[in-house]
Structure 1
Amino acid sequence: MSLLLNVDSLRKAYGQTKKEKTAVLEDVSFSLQCGEIVGLIGASGAGKSTVGRILASLEQQDAGTIWFDGCDLTDLTGKKRRVFAKDIQMIFQDPYGSLSSRMRISDLVEEPLLIQKSEKDPAKRRMRVEEALELVSLDPKKYAMRFPHELSGGERQRVGVARALVCRPKLIVCDEPTSMLDTSLRLELLVLLKKLNKQFGIAYLFITHDIALTKGFCQRLLVLYEGRIVDQGETDSVIEQPDHPFTIRLIEALKKLENSKGE
């Protein structure tokens, strides 16, 4: 595998003034290979989603560099950044709030193509939309003209995946995409994402607070604690031999949960 993403010394703080600012990301550095699935795990407020939003160009870092597919994205803006923005898409946590209730499913999936201006021909855009819906097992004939409120939570999240797929990205940031789904739907979504990864070689940064979801899905793990990466490595290695006290607590909680299920 070749290098796709390299993040170096990422920093981000929120607040109106220097005195009010609170650091969310202190010094975050990591890399991701083409087609690789990397889990980013941490507690609520650790800065996981902030990392994802910065990569997806929804927020700007205060400091640090981002190299993507051989290019420095750090200071790119406007049209130059948009060229790469289509290659980094995002699946959001909330399958209800992330889809406009006023738009039909076909329009929701088409919207990224219009925003990125990556396909000018309306007929070709429709074909791309239909292809994306079929890839997530939503029949275009059945779903294209529906509104989000007519779909279940699992179906809505599949629409979210289709929206991310339609631009044919190289990297998808998955921001806790299973957290609002029940257990069976979580498994279905992970199976779907794994299938798309193998079929198209799409890399994922899989953001989650649930370390159990990363087993068998993520190839590597990054553990974020108080704005810093405190543990990283192959998933099995991090789970079996955690270094940082926070990671150790996560593993202990996972083992207790697994033991309680076995009783």
Structure 2
Amino acid sequence: MPFRYYTRRRSKAMERLVNIQNLMKVYGHHKSEQVAVLKDVSFSFAQGEIIGLIGASGAGKSTIGKILAGLEQPTNGHIDFDGTNLTALPSKERRKFAKHIAMIFQDPYESLSPRMTIEELVEEPLIIQRIEKNKEKRRDMVKEALRVVSLDPEKYMSRYPHELSGGERQRIGVARAFVCKPKLIIADEPTSMLDTSLRLELIQLLKSMNEQYGISYVFVTHDIALTKGFCDRIIVLHEGEIVDIGPTDDVIHAPTHPFTKSLIDALLLLEGAQP
């Protein structure tokens, strides 16, 4: 499928940010025990584009996110990020790209240390990436990140995660991802532990940040309904392979693979409507 540029948010043409070619991931050291989680996966997307990775549990969607974020290494394949071949970099050089590629984790309860204040949690990526040496300037950056996710810094900075609701904790996770001003955020099932109203609020927040700051997202989810009106394109994974890819509305209204059709049928059943 040819690469498609989107200019919906900005007037100038958007430049390619990520190009993934022939990505493979195999677990297991012995040949008899090996399991191929990703099989020859290839796709590209532009700066500012929102990509939805859809699939059942074990389809490989979270593995792609972790490889992009540098949390796992591919068995084979090529990842070009903003002109740099990430897969060819030694681990020390690869870690430097963490300031450009951030991650929002699925579980807001497990991803935040209970011993750290909200200020310390949001500040931590700045310290790890050595982005700002001055403590007061880092504090200002933390305040800005909290305001972006609609949390009052004066109210939240001195508090601890156990004092917050699930929705507030997930917003702290978004603030941690945003504070280094990355070009790409991997959102790995970020709404799965939230109720319906909080899911919609988080999606609206992420979309607002995309429109205001031009951040790209790889949005990992098993719920295709969440991609409508949010993702520019969706990629459907089944057993480690891409089985459908295209603009969100096109895939939802004209799926080509039986697995995608089953997802759409389930969505229509829930909505009580026809495409």
**TM-score, shorter chain, exceeding 0.5:** yes
Moved more, 149-158 or 25-34: 25-34
Residue 46 of structure 2 corresponds to residue 33 of structure 1:
yes
SS at match of 2:249: helix
SS at match of 1:237: helix
Aligned residue number for residue 214 of structure 2: 201
The one of 96, 115, 130 equivalent to 2:109 is 96
Aligned residue number for residue 3 of structure 2: none
Cα offset, 1:126, TM superposition: 1.0
Distance between the aligned counterparts of 1:18 and 1:104, measured in 2?
Answer: 46
SS at match of 1:74: helix
Extract unaligned runs of 5+ from structure 2: 1-13
Deviation by residue 1:94-143 (Cα, 9 ceiling, x = unmatched)? 01111111111111111111111222222211111111011101111110
Residue 246 of structure 2 corresponds to residue 220 of structure 1:
no
Distance between the aligned counterparts of 1:16 and 1:9, measured in 2?
Answer: 21
Distance between the aligned counterparts of 2:32 and 2:129, measured in 1?
Answer: 38
Distance between the aligned counterparts of 2:31 and 2:120, measured in 1?
Answer: 42
Aligned residue number for residue 159 of structure 1: 172
Aligned residue number for residue 49 of structure 1: 62
User: What is the RMSD of the two structures over their aligned residues, measured on CA atoms?
Assistant: 1.0
Residue 64 of structure 2 corresponds to residue 68 of structure 1:
no
SS at match of 1:6: strand
Cα offset, 1:16, TM superposition: 3.4
Aligned residue number for residue 110 of structure 1: 123
Extract unaligned runs of 5+ from structure 1: none
Deviation by residue 1:56-102 (Cα, 9 ceiling, x = unmatched)? 01111111000001111112124422332210000001011111111
Aligned residue number for residue 24 of structure 2: 11
Aligned residue number for residue 210 of structure 1: 223
The one of 33, 43, 46 equivalent to 1:20 is 33
4+ residue stretches of structure 1 with deviation over 6 A? none
Distance between the aligned counterparts of 1:52 and 1:197, measured in 2?
Answer: 18
Scaled by the length of structure 1, the TM-score of the pair is: 0.97
Aligned residue number for residue 176 of structure 1: 189
Aligned residue number for residue 124 of structure 1: 137
Residue 258 of structure 2 corresponds to residue 245 of structure 1:
yes
Deviation by residue 1:142-176 (Cα, 9 ceiling, x = unmatched)? 10111100000000000000000001000000001
Query: Partner amino acid for 2:179?
Result: V
Distance between the aligned counterparts of 2:146 and 2:91, measured in 1?
Answer: 29
SS at match of 1:229: strand
Aligned residue number for residue 244 of structure 2: 231
Query: Partner amino acid for 1:228?
Result: E
Cα offset, 1:257, TM superposition: 0.8
Residue 154 of structure 2 corresponds to residue 141 of structure 1:
yes
Query: Partner amino acid for 2:143?
Result: E
Distance between the aligned counterparts of 2:142 and 2:216, measured in 1?
Answer: 21
SS at match of 2:52: strand
